[in-house]
Structure 1
Amino acid sequence: MEKQIVHLFIFNTLADWEIGFAVAGINNPAFQKHPGRYRIQTVGLDAEPVTTIGGVTILPDITLDELNSSAMLILPGGEVWNAGKNAEILETVKALLVSGIPIAAICGATAGLARAGILDDKPHTSNASEYLQATNYRGAAFYQNQPAVTAGDVITANSTAPLEFAYHIFKKLDIYDTPILEAWYALFKTGDASYYFTLQKLRSPST
């Protein structure tokens, strides 16, 4: 099976913890339905290294103008979204959605989608309804007080829900068989070791 690229948008002040589960799950073939089908590629507005909120330096794999096709684009949260920055990536988001490519946004990135009008007509979530209302968007009636929401090709999540964010991403990309996905989620949500043993029983011989 041809390897597909999931793009991770990176920028200064990126919130490290919000994308950890998703990135690790996509790049780790263990338990996957089609091991190695996807890999993460980072994309920056330019080729300059960025520094996350946690102080980690990341060098983009590609620049925004090199992004042609994708299996999905993931948008982490970060302080710059609240200042209305990262406008360039939002134009790319619109083009990708027109092409049927899914977008996953968490925390501040949802405010970016709101400012771009992307959440005006579809169910979504964020850090709080008031947080998005401050963007003057028109989608307040579609707001759902949930950790994460998938509406067609748009995934949104609360800043406190990196686990749910990953769950929705994995489900959209069809990375795991349903029993494995549910056991994985329950393990990290509850810490109940029985779900670990469930995962081991479900593990495919090929992984």
Structure 2
Amino acid sequence: MTRKPVDPKPVYLAVYDTLADWETGHTTAYLARAGHGIRTVGASGDPVRTIGGLRIQPDLTLDDVRPEDAALLILPGADLWDTGDELAPFARTAREFLAAGVPVAAICGATAGLAREGLLDDRAHTSAVSFYLAATGYAGGDRYVDTDAVTDGDLVTAGPTEPVAFAREVLGLLGVYEGEVLDAWYRLFHDSDPGAYEVLEAAGK
């Protein structure tokens, strides 16, 4: 139903307490349908609980993660991004991925974590609102784009209300969908456009 991914390596999904359940579902579901394994990564091997109360047992720990083994690192939002430095190791891991040329996708509070790590200082990016990131004291305010989701090189960012746009950027970046098919996928899930379904059906997606 989907085209074979350019890179079938697994996708790493960071998981931690207070993870925002709604932000990455479209992304991980359609990456999985395209052939990518989804592997959850925790700070330790201990289970975590999402905002919705779901219990997740991490597949891997940060110590197990190597950028060259993965196609992408996804950083969801979580309350913990704004309450201390507990999640800072995940932002440092994002730095390692980007330095190795492996994509990173961050949504909601994870964008603030990247801002604190200095990863948004010289990349176009977005988030919930510009002043949310400004409160981190980062130096990238002039690169903030007031839009639903942004891709700059190997980095995708989005705000908490844009899980479908976030998925669109990731699916496009990894080559799962392209062109009018990618646009139709977005219109179907974001706008409930019945005409978009016809495009996807005609393309065998």
The residue that corresponds to 2:179 in the other structure is 178
CA distance in 2, matches of 1:3, 1:155: 19
Q: Report the counterpart of residue 149 of structure 2 in structure 1.
A: 148
The yes-or-no answer on 1:76 pairing with 2:76 is: yes
Q: Does 1:28 align with 2:33?
A: yes
Give the aligned partner of residue 98 of structure 1: 99
Deviations 1:4-58 (A, max 9, x none): 11100000000000001101111114xxxxxx2x221110000011100011111
Contact kept in structure 1, 2:124 and 2:144, CA below 8 Å: yes
What's the offset of the Cα at 1:199? Answer: 1.3
Task: Verify the 8 A CA contact 2:8 2:71 in the aligned structure 1.
Answer: no
Q: Is the 8 A contact 2:15 2:48 kept in 1?
A: yes
Q: Deviations over 1:52-82 (max 9, x none)?
A: 0011111101111011131110000010001
More displaced, 56-65 or 85-94?
85-94
Match runs of 1:149-164 below 5 Å: 149-164=150-165
Alignment of 1:113-132 (within 5 A): 113-132=114-133
TM-fit CA distance, 1:191: 0.9
What TM-score do you get using the length of structure 1 for normalisation?
0.91
Distance (Å, rounded) in 1 between the aligned partners of 2:38 and 2:55:
17
Q: Which runs of 4+ in 1 moved over 3 A?
A: none
Equivalent position amino acid for 2:71 in 1 = A
The match for 1:46 is 44
Q: How high is the sequence identity, in percent, across the aligned residues?
A: 45
Letter in 2 for 1:67: V
- TM-score, normalised to structure 2, is 0.92
The aligned counterpart of 1:191 is 192
Question: How far, CA to CA, are the matches of 1:194 and 1:153 in structure 2?
Answer: 31
RMSD of aligned Cα (Å): 1.3
Matched, 1:18 2:28: no
The corresponding residue for 1:33 is none
